[in-house]
Structure 1
Amino acid sequence: MMHVREPDWAYVARSLVKVLAVTAALFLAFSAADRMLWVFMDSDDERMVRLYGTAARIANPDKRLTHGYGDGRWLLKKSYTLLGEPRRAGPSEGETEYEIAENLFGTIQAPFLDGPSGSLADAIGSVDAELGVDEALTERVRKTIDELPQTLDAVAVVEFAHSMTTERLVAFNRRHRVCGGADVSYMYSPSYYDDSSEPASLNAVVWNRGMTEDDTQAGLTYQCETEPWAALTEFRRWVGLLDEGDDLSAFELDYGWLTGAAKEGVVYGLVVDRWKLAELGKLLDDPEVRTVHLADVAFDLGGMG
């Protein structure tokens, strides 16, 4: 009769304890090496937030990206996560997390922040430089807006017939009582595509002064009709923080594209958030406005009843 030897449970327990101890020691050593390595790399977390968090907001005007948080540093990467939601005319559907990661070699990855999507992306992509007045186009858009309830909220792009200097834009704001704020952003460059160049495409440069704030709910004071002056000053200040070697390709932006837009300082259109259709329709009477591209409309359910 064959006897089965009973396991030495004490030996098994000692072996398991040793494995756990070695695993814990390796984890602690790995964590310590990770922290020390990033110290020696002279990593600047604040600059990552200021540079790449703002670049993500510029390249993704289809999202309301509010604030973010750092996820700490690991041996292969460090990351910063932005919170936001799609920019739609209707009620909020809740925030989503968008990660920006940087590896040891300075390469940036932001797979969900590489540019706008959906109908607002189409509206932004429709804006071009110096297209001039098109009365037939203006009338088609006017007819569309007039056929809809004027109290609808809208997300839209107001395209100018010609690029606007800051002086002309301030005068435009005063004529129409357009007040600077979180619901008005300035397009300093239209998007670009040319498959014979490198890079082949670049995102539009869409700027709102709140983009440099890590928490846009912090109560930033806007300057109403004269806000374009403050917005351009802040945009130029931020661009001045850039280095030519900064990796902005994850956002389909680059140093020359941004510095050129800052130097030129003209506006090709406005991205407006949750404006009433009636307000947008009035802008079509101004010869400075080529057209209005509607991206989304919705009833303001909070204002009903």
Structure 2
Amino acid sequence: MNVREPDWAYVARSLLKVLAVTAALFLALSAAERVLTMFIDFDDERMAQVYGTAARVANPDMRLTDGHGDDEGLLETTYTLWGEPRRAGRGEGWAGYEITKNLFGTVRASSLGESSGSLGGAITSMEADLGVDRELTEKARKTIDGLPQTLDAVAVVEFAHVMTTEQLVAFNRRHGLCGGADVAYIYSPSFYDDSSDDPSLNAVVWNRAMTEDRIRADLTYQCETEPEAALKEFRRWVGLLDEGDDLSDFELNYEWLNGTAKEGVVYGLVADRWKLADLRKLLDDPEVRTIHLTDVAFDLGEIK
């Protein structure tokens, strides 16, 4: 039986053709990606600034921090935030939350976007300009008085009327409050209207530390005058947004945020790990309608 010798020249030509086609495809894909980046935002820095911050705005029930981008590509860019539920006691452990943006600009954040738990419920239940309610205030006072005043608490401080930045600075000075990472400003309550294009919109809750890791502004906290710096930083962040940014998974949109930034008033505060005794003092101020406690815990680190 005769065994035919391989045509090594033909094999070599075929191999060269395969290598040439592979190299051509690689160069074509590289060129396509370079062209697409001229029209499509693959910028990991902008992912952090816009969508990482939007996640923090829409999820005040969580402490979200230290985001990082994954490998970018033609089809999808992923940005991951680490976070934990905002509780008064020791944390339950940090988990990763992914934000993805595809080729067409659609953003998905399936594990983020809607506040939950008692803190989320307290913020969602807030309405605008409800006025003084002495019965409600007294109920909150009795609740707080019935608990040890050394407890740490997460709470929503609801104002009787909206406050301008100047009014909030005066409020801080009356009570000796210092802005910082344990204070967030509720710039707008949530919105629901099933006749609109966006029937449900999240409350806008802001803390300057939300942009600290990426925008790197001067974040030296200014104690009583912190509300001025916070509003300035919020408006600066809104200035980074485009009308085409897809914020729907966070139940936010450009018009909602832009209007809130222009209005610049505060409906209440989120107090993170304040002592009950400090919260209790605020109830004597006629500007405070009520305080919603959402979690309390002993600070075991203080026990010797």
TM-score by length of 1: 0.87
Q: Is the 8 A contact 1:35 1:73 kept in 2?
A: no
SS state of the match for residue 220, structure 2?
Answer: coil
Which position in structure 2 is the counterpart of 1:172? 171
Q: Deviations over 1:248-279 (max 9, x none)?
A: 10100001100111000000000110001111
**Is it true that 1:98 corresponds to 2:90 in the alignment?**
no
Q: Counterpart of 2:71 in 1: which secondary structure?
A: strand
Change (3 A) 1:277 1:195: same
Aligned to 1:17: none
- Once residues 102 and 144 of structure 1 are traced to their aligned partners in structure 2, the CA distance between those partners, rounded to angstroms, is 45
1:132-190 residue CA offsets vs partner (Å, 9 max, x unmatched): 00000000110000001111100010000000000000000011111010000001100
- Give the C-alpha shift of residue 197 in structure 1: 1.8
Output one character per residue of 1:87-120: Cα deviation in whole Å (capped at 9) or x when no partner: 0001012211010000000000001111211111
User: Residue 41 of structure 1 aligns to which amino acid in structure 2?
Assistant: T
What do residues 39-68 of structure 1 show as CA deviations (whole Å, max 9, x unaligned)? Answer: 623332211111111111100111111111
Amino acid at match of 1:37: E
Q: Counterpart of 1:49?
A: 48
- Partner of 1:73, secondary structure, is coil
Partner amino acid, structure 1, of 2:44: D
Relative to 1, partners in 2 of residues 1:79 and 1:290: Cα closer, same or farther, differing over 3 Å? same
**Are 2:7 and 1:37 aligned?**
no
Between stretches 254-263 and 218-227, larger displacement belongs to 218-227
Q: 1:87-126, aligned counterparts within 5 Å? A: 87-126=86-125
Deviation of residue 38 (structure 1)? 6.2
Aligned to 2:185: 186
For structure 2, the 5+ residue unaligned runs are 1-17
Go from structure 1 to structure 2 and tell me whether the alpha carbon gap of 1:39 and 1:176 turns closer, same or farther (over 3 Å shift).
Answer: farther
Inter-partner Cα distance in structure 1 for 2:213 and 2:112? 16
Which residue does the alignment assign to 1:275? 274
Q: AA paired with 1:226?
A: T
Give the 3 Å change call, closer, same or farther, for CA 196–57 of structure 1 in structure 2: same
Residue 241 (structure 1) aligns with = 240
Q: Could you say what secondary structure the match of 1:245 adopts?
A: coil
1:278–1:162 distance in 2 versus 1, CA, 3 Å: same
2:250 counterpart residue number: 251
Contact 2:49/2:214 (CA < 8 Å) preserved in 1? no
Structure 2 Cα separation of the partners of residues 221 and 31 of structure 1: 48
1:155 to 1:219, Cα distance in 2 relative to 1, 3 A = farther
Amino acid at match of 1:238: W
CA RMSD of aligned residues (A): 2.4
User: Structure 2: how far apart are the matches of 1:131 and 1:120?
Assistant: 20
Decide whether the 8 Å contact of 2:159 with 2:288 is kept in 1: yes
Question: Structure 1 residues 74 and 174, CA, compared in 2 at 3 Å: closer, same or farther?
Answer: same
Contact between 2:87 and 2:154, CA under 8 Å: does it hold in 1? yes
Asked if 1:263 is matched to 2:259, the reply is: no
Q: CA deviation at 1:30?
A: 7.5
Q: How far 1:218 sits from its partner (Å)?
A: 11
Counterpart Cα distance in 2 of 1:193 and 1:38: 42
Rate the CA distance shift 1:78–1:303 in 2: closer, same or farther, 3 A: same
**Corresponding residue number in structure 2 for 1:129:** 128
- In the other structure, the counterpart of 1:15 is none
Percentage identity across aligned positions?
Answer: 70
Give the corresponding residue for 1:138: 137
Deviation at 1:35, TM superposition (A): 8.8
- Between the two proteins, the alignment pairs up a number of residues equal to 282
Change (3 A) 1:224 1:30: farther
Identify the residue that residue 84 of structure 1 maps to in structure 2: 83
Match of 2:208 in 1: 209
The amino acid of 1:125's aligned partner reads T
Over 3 Å counting, the alpha-carbon distance change for 1:140 and 1:35 in structure 2 is farther
Give the partner amino acid of 2:33: L
Q: Which runs of 5+ in 1 are unaligned?
A: 1-21
**Matched-pair contact (CA < 8 Å) for 1:34–1:74:** no
Distance apart, 1:241 and its partner CA = 1.1
Kept after mapping to 2: 8 A contact 1:132/1:290: yes
Q: Secondary structure at the match of 1:67?
A: strand
* Aligned residue number for residue 12 of structure 1: none
* 107-116 or 207-216, larger mean C-alpha shift: 207-216
